A = this chain, B = another copy of it.
Amino acid sequence: MDSSGTPFELMLERLIDASPEKLYRAWTEPDLLKEWFTPRPWTVSVATLDVRPGGSNLIVMRGPEGQEFPNRGVYLEVVPNRKLVFTDAFVSAWVPSAKPFMTATITFDEEGGKTRYRARVGHWSEEDRKQHEQMGFHEGWGKATDQLVDLVSRL
């Protein structure tokens, strides 16, 4: 089930001074996810998370001018406090989306009292990987992760 070696991948990795449990909560409880998921001044206006294999999620990202971007996906694998996998290839189980773009694998591994946190985002083509990178993957996910670290430090 290791996704290493996945082609067309983008990756963010950090050692975070918080437990896997707190990081997992921040990913799976809507009120917590809203606090960190979008780099400010963007916000999350809607977060509906049915966290189970085959469950859907809807996260609406809202820009500073009020423009809204809905993101729909389906959870493929859920290992509480350890691993979450979701994809935008389906909008619900198992209705194909307009465009299969990415599959994200988030892992939370305990390491010396902290958590080795990895977000791996696989794509179906090099073109999509590059587009995601140019949309600001590293900066966007990096800032969001800063906000995540700040949030879990207060849990």
- What residues make up the interface of A, taking CB atoms closer than 8 Å to B? 1, 3, 5-8, 53-54, 76-77, 85, 87, 89-90, 93-97, 99-100, 103, 105, 122-124
Expressed in whole angstroms, the minimum distance between the Cβ of A93 and any Cβ of chain B is 5
- For A103, the chain B residues whose CB sits under 8 A away are 90, 94, 96
- For A77, the chain B residues whose CB sits under 8 A away are 53-54, 93-94
- For A5, the chain B residues whose CB sits under 8 A away are 95
* CB<8 Å pairs between A and B, sample of 14: A3-B95, A7-B96, A53-B53, A53-B77, A54-B77, A77-B93, A89-B124, A94-B122, A95-B122, A96-B122, A96-B123, A96-B124, A97-B124, A100-B124
Using known A-B contacts A54-B1, A76-B54, A89-B89, determine if residue A8 contacts B94 with beta carbons closer than 8 Å: no
Majority secondary structure, A binding face: loop
Expressed in whole angstroms, the minimum distance between the Cβ of A96 and any Cβ of chain B is 5
Contact between chains at B76 and A8 (CB < 8 Å): no
Copies of this polypeptide in the complex: 2
What CA separation (Å) do A96 and B8 show in the bound complex?
A: 9
Q: Name the residue on B nearest A85 (C-beta).
A: B94
Expressed in whole angstroms, the minimum distance between the Cβ of A79 and any Cβ of chain B is 10
A76: contacting residue among B1, B7, B93, B105, CB under 8 A:
B93
Expressed in whole angstroms, the minimum distance between the Cβ of A6 and any Cβ of chain B is 5
